[in-house]
Amino acid sequence: MKNARLAALLVSGGLCTATSASAQAPTPAEATPTANSQPAPAQPAAAPAVDDGNFFRFYGMFNPRFVASTGAMESFSQPNAVAVTAAGNPVLSVAPDKARYTFQVAQSRVGFWLNEKGPLRAQLEIDFVDFAKSTPTTASLPRVRIARVDYSFAPGHQLSMGQDWDLHAPLNPHGINLVGALFESGNSGFMRQQLKYVYNAPDFELGAAVGFPTPNNTAKAASLEIGTLPTLAVRGAYKFGKSRVGASAIATRLPFNLGEPDERISNAFAAALFSELAPSANTQVRMELNFGQNAANLGVLSLAQGRLSDDLQEVGGYISVRQSLTDRHAVYGMAGYQKVLDASKVLPSYGYGAQSGDGTPPAFSSATLASNGPGLVHNGTVRLGYEFRPAQKLALVLEGFLFQSRFSLLQMDQGRTGSERTSLGLEAGALLNF
């Protein structure tokens, strides 16, 4: 009866159909700034009797932050500091050399589990991030992060369907910038609408997934729905103690100019080596090395976005280390870097509207984002942080960062501004889990 009750709730709540959205960590069970690590698959057990007290569990994380920097920053190409991922593109940014600050709460999140300890369970999680709004207050709107159903049909075997963390590249770095998370500078994971299977044994894990290539946020079904194959992802890892070392890959074939005389089909893929190590009880180390072709076309948050005329390849990776000093004090640091191998193939991420006929260069402020991808040739960052924990589920965090980014510029802009940008900054705030 209780499984029937759960099925009815899942159908009526619409959780069996995932809603399209973007960007980080599924459960706040570990109340630390490391909570944006994607979790290892749950250890499914034989179906226990459902306890009504555990049928519904509400959870969340408050993440109020202050962000300041010496120059312009950008968040996934948008010229703001909602979730910083690079120094600011000097053509898109307002007064790119001037210092700036912002207050942010949109990375806060809430969610719930249905029947979390049972063989059939569901999770819904939302946050309030909108990269097109620089410092919103009541204009923040909910954004679906996770909407999935899991079925543990035997011990160690789990099927999941819906919107969830991609099977590929399963780790995220430490830090307070949960949504930025070294994406576009070494971290190649993200979210996907998919059907995935994971086998979790004491010493190893194996997984495979079939998913949708990348979000289509327009009203019309297009080449993504009509001409593309689903993505196929695989992952394997060896586990020892609280550590694991593994490899993953995701791939599909994409059409460019579908149905046109010059239509071209190309391979898009990404592969990663990853490790999550615990050399001591107080030390955590997370690492990733990746290589890909046209990976940004797959919704992976990297740099190489292919097009009709060119395939782009890239390499990157990151390392993130956290050291607990006492029960209340911890420090952490990370470094990440991503680079497109052939810089000449990278298109600018922006364009201009109608231009004057007298040859006067357009004002930088008139530039708008185009659909050419991140427009970054390479992007690197270093972050150092300190955490003070006055209570078990509350962390006060101070985190400094340095970004060094090189952008592709239109020819008319190459003599007007430099393509290399460096920005120093600081994030300070709290992570309160409940």
3-state helix/strand/coil string of 338-372: EEECCHHHCCCCEECCCCCCCCCCCCHHHCEECCC
Residue 420 has a pLDDT of 97
Residue 357 has a pLDDT of 65
Q: Please report which confidence band the pLDDT of residue 52 belongs to, taking 50, 70 and 90 as the band edges.
A: low
Residue with the bigger pLDDT between 52 and 305: it is 305
Per-residue pLDDT, averaged over 296-313, amounts to 96
Per-residue pLDDT, averaged over 380-391, amounts to 98
Answer yes or no: is pLDDT of 73 > 90. yes
Domain locations in the chain? 2-433
- pLDDT, tens digit, 9 for 90 and up, residues 235-270: 999 999 999 999 999 999 999 999 899 999 999 999
Q: Which two tokens stand for residue 265?
A: 């089909």
Q: Which residue has the tokens 């070392």?
A: 245
Residue 366 has a pLDDT of 87
- pLDDT, tens digit, 9 for 90 and up, residues 195-220: 999 999 999 999 999 999 999 999 99
Per-residue pLDDT, averaged over 217-226, amounts to 91
Q: Which two tokens stand for residue 340?
A: 């497109």
Answer yes or no: is pLDDT of 64 > 80. yes
What is the Cα–Cα distance from 309 to 109, expressed in whole angstroms?
Answer: 41
Residue 364 has a pLDDT of 87
Residue with the bigger pLDDT between 11 and 108: it is 108
CA angle in degrees (0–180, nearest 5) for 117-395-179: 70
Residue 25 has a pLDDT of 39
Residue 342 has a pLDDT of 97
Torsion angle, alpha carbons of 66, 69, 74, 75, to 10: -20
Answer yes or no: is pLDDT of 186 > 60. yes
Assess contact for 334 and 382: CB atoms under 8 A: yes
Local structure of 266: helix, strand or coil? strand
Per-residue pLDDT, averaged over 386-393, amounts to 97
Per-residue pLDDT, averaged over 379-385, amounts to 98
Residue with the bigger pLDDT between 158 and 227: it is 158
Residue 360 has a pLDDT of 81
**Considering only 74-88, 116-130, 359-373, which range has the smallest mean pLDDT?**
359-373
Per-residue pLDDT, averaged over 171-191, amounts to 96
Alpha carbons within 13 angstroms on the beta-carbon side of residue 301 total 27
Answer yes or no: is pLDDT of 23 > 60. no
Q: What is the mean pLDDT of the chain?
A: 89
Q: Which residue has the tokens 């020892």?
A: 240
Answer yes or no: is pLDDT of 409 > 50. yes
Residue with the bigger pLDDT between 140 and 358: it is 140
What residues contact residue 62 under an 8 Å CB cut-off, 6+ apart?
105, 108, 430, 431, 432, 434
3-state helix/strand/coil string of 278-343: EEECCEEEEEEEEEEECHHHHCCCCCCCCCCCCCCEEEEEEEEEEEECCCCEEEEEEEEEEEECCH
Residue 1 has a pLDDT of 45
What percent of the chain lies above the pLDDT cut of 70?
A: 86
Per-residue pLDDT, averaged over 400-413, amounts to 96
Answer yes or no: is pLDDT of 187 > 80. yes
Residue 228: count other Cβ atoms within 10 Å of its Cβ. Answer: 21
Q: Please report which confidence band the pLDDT of residue 363 belongs to, taking 50, 70 and 90 as the band edges.
A: confident
Residue 356 has a pLDDT of 62
Answer yes or no: is pLDDT of 139 > 50. yes
Superfamily of domain 2-433: Porin (2.40.160.10)
Residue 6 has a pLDDT of 47
Q: Please report which confidence band the pLDDT of residue 45 belongs to, taking 50, 70 and 90 as the band edges.
A: very low
Give Rg (Cα) of the chain: 22
